[in-house]
């Protein structure tokens, strides 16, 4: 299907664009009244696993703002259920894994599922969204990257210092590598299924990889990211790799092979780009908290990021992480329109 507004995809390929394209992580979420109205009727997992509801939520922000891409409403953890992981989302706690991986036997018992069966709900939602978009803008699919999935599965939910994860990684490396290979196969298969269902790009979220030293990232994580990126790129869609607090690993990020590297707000965009080097697109990097500031301050920060991008091909404007709850909706709307206007090529 031909994409009418392909600014985002062109930026992923580092081709000239008419303006800097923009989409926002967690652009469908609790800051929108439309989302909250749906959330009153369903639990979080019910929303993810009900295709027409997931499709409705995916479309809410792109119907409200002139965004340059949609991202499917899903979560990185449900694919783990097919491996034998018992997952719930608890009020006030977030994701809870009730049978965390702690022993070699736990890892050995994991199976690599067929995502077309175990995550069919997300694949159907992708098809529903693409039918509604009708080629208006691209749709982004996503997966957790192997390390972040491993961290959740080992810690039993969100961790603090990830000591249990690192204990397995450093203390029983054979078990660690077995787990990471299984998760890599899961991620590749899941991303392939999403591309078959119709997504136009894939983002790998490695939310917790910034907790690692460069040595450990290089030794225990990068080879598996390489496998994932290479396998998805073979399908002809761009791959975005995003992690937080990874500005000290620029040379390693460059080695992932991703078409686009996401940058958080802890480093200036021009400095990040200089470290990443040529031949890669960059996504980012407004601090989500800035959206609570008066509009004049938001505008000033956007101007700074655009100035640091300096009109280079391959910049995709985004936040340095997801939109925060209670972010003013008007500020999101003005942000999208201002980025597109201020960056438009004369």
Catalytic residues: 26, 30, 39, 75, 152
CA 186 remoteness from chain centre: 16
- Pick the closest to residue 150 from 254, 79, 213 (CA basis): 79
- Please give the Cα distance from 220 to 146 (Å, whole number): 10
Q: List residues bridging with 31 in a β-sheet.
A: none
Residue 120: how many CB atoms within 10 A of its CB? 15
First to last CA, the chain: 29
| DSSP assignment string, 114-147 | -HHHHTHHHHHHHHHHHHHHTTSS-EEEEEE-HH
Question: Six-digit token pair at 20?
Answer: 């800097």
* Cα four-point dihedral sign 145, 49, 41, 57: positive
Q: Which residues sit opposite 202 in a β-bridge?
A: 141, 239
Calpha distance 273→36 (Å, rounded) = 37
Nearest to 202 by CA among 262, 252, 253, 147: 262
């Amino acid at each position: 299907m031909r994409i009418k507004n392909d600014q985002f995809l062109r930026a992923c390929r580092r081709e000239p664009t008419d303006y800097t394209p923009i989409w926002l992580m967690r652009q469908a979420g609790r800051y929108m009244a439309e989302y909250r109205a749906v959330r009153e009727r369903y639990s979080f997992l019910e929303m993810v696993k009900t295709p027409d509801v997931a499709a409705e939520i995916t479309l809410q922000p792109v119907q409200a703002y002139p965004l340059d891409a949609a991202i499917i409403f899903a979560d990185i953890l449900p694919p783990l259920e097919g491996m034998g992981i018992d997952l719930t989302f608890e009020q006030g706690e977030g994701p809870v894994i009730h049978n965390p991986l702690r022993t070699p036997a736990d890892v050995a018992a994991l199976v690599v599922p067929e995502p077309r069966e175990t995550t069919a709900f997300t694949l159907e939602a992708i098809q529903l969204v693409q039918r509604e978009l009708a080629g208006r803008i691209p749709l982004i699919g996503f997966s957790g990257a192997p390390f972040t999935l491993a961290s959740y599965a080992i810690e039993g939910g969100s961790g603090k210092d990830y000591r249990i994860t690192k204990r397995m990684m450093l203390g029983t490396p054979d078990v660690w590598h077995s787990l990471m290979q299984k998760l890599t196969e899961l991620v590749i298969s899941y991303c392939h299924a999403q591309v078959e269902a119709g997504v136009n790009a894939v983002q790998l979220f490695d939310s917790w990889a910034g907790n690692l030293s460069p040595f450990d990232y290089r030794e225990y994580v990068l080879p598996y990211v390489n496998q994932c990126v290479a396998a998805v790129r073979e399908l002809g869609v761009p791959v975005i790799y995003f992690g937080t607090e990874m500005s000290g690993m620029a040379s390693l990020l460059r080695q992932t092979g991703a078409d686009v590297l996401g940058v958080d707000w802890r480093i200036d965009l021009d400095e990040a780009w200089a470290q990443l080097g040529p031949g890669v697109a960059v996504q980012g990097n407004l601090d989500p908290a800035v959206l609570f500031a008066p509009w004049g301050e938001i505008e000033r920060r956007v101007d700074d990021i655009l100035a640091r991008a300096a009109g280079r091909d391959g910049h995709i404007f985004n936040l340095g992480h997801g939109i925060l709850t209670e972010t003013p909706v008007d500020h999101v709307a003005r942000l999208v329109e201002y980025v597109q206007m201020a960056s438009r090529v004369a």
